[in-house]
Homo-oligomer: A and B are copies of this chain.
Amino acid sequence: MTQRILVINPNSTAAVTSGIDQAMAPLRLEGGPRIDCATLAEGPPGIQSQRDVDHVVPPLCRLIEREHNATDAFVIACFSDPGLHSARETTDRPVFGIMEAGLTTALNLGNSIGIIAILPTSVARHLRFVRAMGLSQRVAGDRAVGLNVVELSDEARTYGRLVETGRALRDQDGADVIVMGCAGMARYRERMEDALGVAVIDPSQAAASMAIGAIRLGYRTGRRSAA
């Protein structure tokens, strides 16, 4: 049976899932796992706070339980990696969080990582997770574009702020690789690389790439049995 990666958008906005789905295009290989994207219907329209992060975990786990038998690897496509560790207790399939995967991939592409957050209030949360991952020495900075939902729908405005924020991370903080702190922004990625002259990572793509390898290689994840 065909192997399958399920990329879950934990917010309930179909347009975001659509953006993630388009970002998966380069990773859909003929002989590779199928990459499906799902929207978590019970999720909020956007995940913007720690409350949002925590409240999506129960429905996210239920979705993973339902999909477990039909899935070989999961990706949680929200930069706060909501429920990542609970998900790893819920299924023995590999589970990737896009923040964890995005940052660990960036370590192979640059010396010092800059994170572009959407909201200023996300920065402290990101930095707490960076510390939890033990990666503080490799993160140069985390800066927010500071746009609200209405402004984010203006693609030109968003692109402009993404590049400005990337420049600040590069020139003021010393970053030489950028991770976009949000899912579904892959359509800006290549233009940003041209504008900034450094690698720019869409973390959903980084996570899906890791999932392909994990499935093909068959890493043993899930509950450990001592031997």
Give A residues with C-beta under 8 Å from B. Answer: 26-27, 29-32, 49-51, 53-55, 57-58, 61, 83, 85-86, 88-90, 94, 96, 100-101, 104-105, 107-109, 111-112, 123-125, 127-129, 131-138, 174, 176, 190, 193-202, 205-206, 208-210, 212-214, 216-221, 224-227
Closest to A222 in B: B199
Chain B residues lying within 8 Å of A112, measured Cβ to Cβ, are: 124, 127
Complex: A132 Cα to B132 Cα, angstroms: 4
Query: Contact between B132 and A128 (Cβ–Cβ < 8 Å)?
Result: yes
- Distance, CA A220 to CA B176, complexed state (A): 11
Asked if residues A220 and B206 are in contact (CB atoms below 8 Å), the reply is: no
Q: Is the CB of A132 within 8 A of B129?
A: yes
Taking a contact as CB atoms under 8 Å apart, the answer to whether A96 and B111 are in contact is no
Instruction: Give the distance in Å from the alpha carbon of A201 to the alpha carbon of B219 in the complex.
Output: 8
State whether B217 touches A198 (Cβ < 8 A): no
Q: State the CA gap A140–B57 with chains docked (Å).
A: 29
A138 and B134 contact, CB distance less than 8 A = yes
Answer whether A27 and B216 are a contact pair too, CB < 8 Å, given A58-B55, A94-B109, A107-B104: yes
A208's nearest neighbour on chain B, judged by CB, is B213
